[in-house]
Amino acid sequence: MPLLPFEQRLAEAWPPESWRDVSVLIAVSGGPDSMALLRGLHRLKESNEAPTASAAGAQGRLIIGHFNHRLRPDADEDEAFVREQAAALNLPCETARGDPAALDMREGLESAAREARYRFLQETAERQGARYIAVAHTADDQVETILHHIIRGTGLAGLSGMPRVRSLSPAVTLVRPLLGIRRSEVEDYLRQIGQPFRTDPTNLSTDLTRNRIRHELLPLLSGRFNREVVQAILRLGSLAGEAQEVLSGMASQLMSRAVTDFPDGEVRVDCRLLDEQPRYVVREMFCQIWRQRRWPMQDMTQRHWDELAALAASARPPVPRTFPGGLLAARAAGELRLSPGRQEP
């Protein structure tokens, strides 16, 4: 049977020859996007129509991963649905249940739940020997993410949105195969193959900023300003991503020379090595320091990164500053010392 249009698009976005012979953990919530990704990858895995399919068959496996956050009344029903779909496709299914009371809420519920989910996915992939974790973010999710970043205040990294590929560990890489595919294409595909899916009622609530962007802001922009606003934002994100790659490389080189870690968690930055550097490279270096050490970033805005760069460039020792998450920054003897010791519980 020939590949359907969605399956062809998926094969172009993530060629099967690059993953067919290794194991892939597919993050499946039971919603439409993840069910389309699951069915599409399963079809490409099994289909002789897929490019470079080997006659002997592939050695890798598709594995379903589902994390039950236990945050909604019907969460257990979502888990049961995913298990049923896995059995129907004869695929292994790994599940885990979260503990809402144990979530680290310093950066908000959404961030805490995401952290728990990705921790489960990475641990499962490493235990199962999966080379890739495939998640089902679409082009529409990318646009919503970029707009969300703009509203909060962002730099190039925020404008570039979610990366298509991201290394989680030496053994595991996260990939977003649907990042160039619209949500409407997902819905058409599910109708074509008669695939049921679960619906998260919280996605309809406009109490959350992301949902207001989806249900109010984007329709307004499309209807009154630019019918092709989604494509325009995606192009902007692509250009920002290219620029961010160059900037990240420059900042990484600077960080390797100027930054020293200490056993107590303190980080020291040699400010003398920053004197001749452009301010935007110094800002990006601080962003990388935060990301690599998994310090809280949810409430860090462009103003905060500018303040850090100003502290590092100051000729006189400024007053120590406390940043979101309790991170303390203080100048001493030509160094900027960053300490996570004052984080709130």
Distance between CA atoms of 53 and 47, rounded to whole angstroms? 8
- Which residues lie closer than 8 Å to 37 by C-beta, 6 or more apart? 10, 26, 28, 134, 135, 136, 177, 178
Query: pLDDT, tens digit, for every residue of 246-273?
Result: 999 999 999 999 999 998 899 999 999 9
Q: What is the pLDDT of residue 113?
A: 85
Q: Which of residues 274 and 48 earns the better pLDDT score?
A: 274
Q: For CATH 3.40.50.620, list the domain ranges present in the chain.
A: 5-220
Query: pLDDT, tens digit, for every residue of 161-190?
Result: 999 999 999 999 999 999 999 999 999 999
Q: What is the pLDDT of residue 106?
A: 63
Question: Contact at 8 Å (CB) between 69 and 112?
Answer: no
CATH architecture of 235-339: 2-Layer Sandwich (3.30)
Residue 311: how many CA atoms within 13 Å on its side-chain side? 27
Among the listed residues 66, 82, 245, 60, the one whose alpha carbon sits nearest the alpha carbon of residue 159? 245
Question: Contact at 8 Å (CB) between 26 and 63?
Answer: yes
Query: pLDDT, tens digit, for every residue of 71-127?
Result: 889 999 999 999 999 999 999 999 999 888 777 766 567 778 888 999 999 999 999
Q: What is the pLDDT of residue 127?
A: 96
Distance between CA atoms of 273 and 255, rounded to whole angstroms? 10
Which residue's entry shows tokens 């499962």?
Answer: 124
Q: Which of residues 344 and 94 earns the better pLDDT score?
A: 94
Answering whether pTM is above 0.85, one says no
Q: What is the pLDDT of residue 345?
A: 36
Q: Which of residues 300 and 216 earns the better pLDDT score?
A: 216
* Sheet containing strand 321-323, strands side by side: 259-261, 267-270, 335-339, 327-332, 321-323
Q: What are phi and psi of 187, to 5 degrees?
A: -65, -40
DSSP 58-119: -S--EEEEEEE---STTHHHHHHHHHHHHHHHT--EEEEE--GGG--GGG-HHHHHHHHHHH
Three-state DSSP class for residue 256: helix
Residue 201 has pLDDT above 90, yes or no: no
Q: 5-220, what's its fold?
A: Rossmann fold (3.40.50)
Average per-residue pLDDT for the chain: 90
Q: For CATH 3.30.465, list the domain ranges present in the chain.
A: 235-339
Q: What is the pLDDT of residue 303?
A: 87
Distance of CA 333 to the CA centre of its chain: 38
pLDDT band, residue 317 (cuts 50/70/90): low
Which residue's entry shows tokens 């310093």?
Answer: 106
Three-state DSSP class for residue 279: helix
Question: Contact at 8 Å (CB) between 283 and 195?
Answer: no
The winner for highest mean pLDDT among 130-139, 162-171, 317-326 is 130-139
**Enclosing H/E stretch for 173:** strand 173-175
Distance between CA atoms of 166 and 216, rounded to whole angstroms? 31
Distance between CA atoms of 196 and 204, rounded to whole angstroms? 19
- % of the chain surpassing 90 pLDDT: 71
Q: What are phi and psi of 107, to 5 degrees?
A: -110, 15
pLDDT band, residue 333 (cuts 50/70/90): confident
CA distances from 170 to 10, 19, 36, 245, 246 (A): 25, 16, 28, 20, 22
Residue 142 has pLDDT above 60, yes or no: yes
Tokens of 76: 């257990």
Q: What is the pLDDT of residue 105?
A: 64
Residue 65 has pLDDT above 60, yes or no: yes
- Mean predicted confidence (pLDDT) in 297-314: 87
- Mean predicted confidence (pLDDT) in 322-331: 91
Q: What is the pLDDT of residue 341?
A: 63
